[in-house]
């Protein structure tokens, strides 16, 4: 029986019945087991054999015993620990739930209310441990379990045991990178020997960043690339990936991510006070914050049937008004045509804006992926402003047209444009009355007018021979 599960089963026979492997991480493998003595389901975490050999049982069990004294509502307690057949293990309650990593993998970014609630609970656990001189050193979504909507921080003492602090010297020769690269504080990535509780606050900031945006601040093809980024590159503002994050929360997260520990929050209690100062004042944990309520209202407003119904009502009102004004004021026919064109163009805009707003609301409530590209630009405010601008331009153009027509300015100032004459109207030109001594003057003036008008493309002048037929 050379595999760890078989070795563990043999060594713990009579105390624990190993049922199945739950998962393997960078430092340990987790098994579900039955605690025979207490008739309960537990989780047994077994340190990797190569790490166990390097760390040593004495050092490991000493650090685990220190962590076992942590009794806090948001810290997963330790039931037992020991060495079995060369394997170092510790026993925890089996949590009927999922890890924060599982939830992020399943949902992506979380709602603002859920992020702030979970962060308050994790920070509360860190403040309790830090006050007792215990630094976690490996805060990440994998080490936060979620049970009955509450966060439970696991693995206190494990990272310190792997790091190892012997009686008089630090253990630096194992060759194991302590922590997880994506969540390492710069001083951890640089292998600084003087790591304190502020490294946990940096990792907390990375985890909060991922909870809000669905991704950590630094990503790379290799662990080395990510670790170098933690040391040398400023993290992108959290609002760059999620603009609706409240300013106070974005500032809290970004301060956790300061490169220099002196520039970060100096204690978990400071972060907790910041989170509690902006907490929703309610005793019901099922209540949601203002952001979620507004997102739910936006979901209702963006229902497709509601959007189409409101658009149809608005279109009928606008077109009815345009038609009435056209008839009453004698506006040109193109005014109503342009109004109808703008309204028709607004239909697909309303549909796509409704879809974008609905997707945005789902992201706030349920942590869906954020909209990008054109969908991120489409909002009800922009759509309304665009419609108002289009109809405002139509009104300005109509007003200008009417003013030019009344004043006889330009091509719209003609009798045809003003509606006095129809296009190619047939005109009868009567003889001018002659009241002068020149008997031929009236006839000459009449003929000159006839010749001049005959050259116009707007009207048709009837010849004298046609007049009798027309009349």
| Residues that are catalytic | 138
To 10 degrees, the CA torsion angle through 136, 141, 145, 148?
130
Contact 367, 108 (CB under 8 A): yes
The secondary structure element, H or E, covering residue 255 is helix 247-256
Length, in residues, of the chain = 471
Q: Is 352 exposed, middle or buried (0-12, 13-18, 19+ CB in 10 A)?
A: middle
How many other C-beta atoms are found inside a 10 Å radius of the C-beta of residue 310? 13
Alpha-carbon distance 180 to 126, whole Å? 18
Residues 6+ apart with CB under 8 A from 180: 26, 138, 140, 142
What gap in Å lies between CA 63 and CA 57, rounded to an integer? 10
CB atoms within 10 A of CB 291: 19
Interatomic CA distance for residues 420 and 416, integer angstroms:
6
Between CA 170 and CA 12 the distance in angstroms is 32
């Amino acid at each position: 029986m050379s595999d760890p599960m078989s070795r563990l089963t043999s060594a713990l026979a009579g105390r624990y019945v190993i049922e199945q492997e739950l998962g393997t991480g960078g430092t340990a493998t987790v098994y579900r087991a039955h605690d025979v003595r207490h008739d309960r389901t537990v989780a047994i975490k077994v340190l990797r054999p190569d790490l166990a050999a390097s760390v040593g049982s004495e050092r490991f069990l000493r650090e685990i015993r220190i962590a076992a004294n942590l009794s806090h509502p948001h810290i997963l307690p330790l039931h037992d620990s020991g060495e079995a057949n060369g394997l170092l293990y510790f026993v925890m309650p089996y949590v009927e739930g999922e890890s924060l990593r599982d939830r992020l993998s399943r949902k992506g970014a979380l709602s603002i209310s859920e992020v702030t609630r979970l962060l308050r609970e994790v920070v509360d656990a860190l403040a309790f441990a830090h006050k007792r001189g215990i630094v976690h050193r490996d805060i990440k979504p994998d080490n936060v379990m979620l049970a009955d909507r509450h966060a439970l921080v696991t693995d206190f003492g494990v990272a310190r045991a792997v790091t190892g602090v012997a009686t008089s010297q630090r253990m630096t020769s194992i060759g194991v990178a302590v922590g997880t690269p994506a969540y390492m504080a710069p001083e951890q990535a640089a292998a600084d020997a003087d790591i304190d509780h502020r490294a946990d606050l940096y990792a907390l900031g990375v985890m909060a960043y991922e909870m809000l945006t669905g991704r950590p601040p630094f990503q790379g093809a290799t662990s080395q690339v990510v670790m170098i980024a933690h040391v040398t590159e400023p993290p992108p503002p959290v609002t760059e990936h999620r603009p609706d994050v409240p300013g106070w929360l974005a500032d809290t997260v970004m301060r956790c991510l300061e490169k220099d520990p002196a520039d970060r929050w100096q204690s978990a209690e400071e972060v907790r006070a910041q989170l509690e100062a902006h907490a929703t004042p309610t005793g019901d944990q099922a209540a949601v914050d203002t952001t979620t309520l507004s997102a739910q209202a936006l979901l209702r407003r963006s229902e497709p049937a509601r959007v189409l119904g409101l658009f149809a009502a608005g279109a009928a009102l606008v077109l009815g008004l345009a038609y009435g004004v056209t008839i009453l004021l004698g506006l040109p026919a193109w005014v109503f045509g342009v109004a109808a064109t703008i309204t028709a163009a607004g239909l697909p805009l309303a549909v796509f804006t409704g879809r974008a707003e609905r997707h945005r609301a789902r992201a706030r409530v349920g942590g869906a992926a954020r909209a990008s590209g054109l969908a991120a630009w489409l909002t009800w405010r922009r759509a309304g402003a665009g419609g108002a601008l289009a109809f405002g331009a139509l009104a300005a153009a109509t007003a200008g047209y009417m003013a030019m027509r009344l004043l006889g300015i330009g091509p719209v100032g003609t009798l045809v444009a003003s509606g006095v004459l129809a296009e190619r109207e047939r005109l009868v030109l009567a003889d001018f009355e002659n009241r002068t001594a020149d008997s031929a003057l009236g006839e000459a003036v009449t003929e000159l007018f006839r010749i001049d008008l005959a050259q116009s493309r707007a009207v048709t002048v009837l010849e004298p021979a046609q007049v009798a037929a027309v009349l």
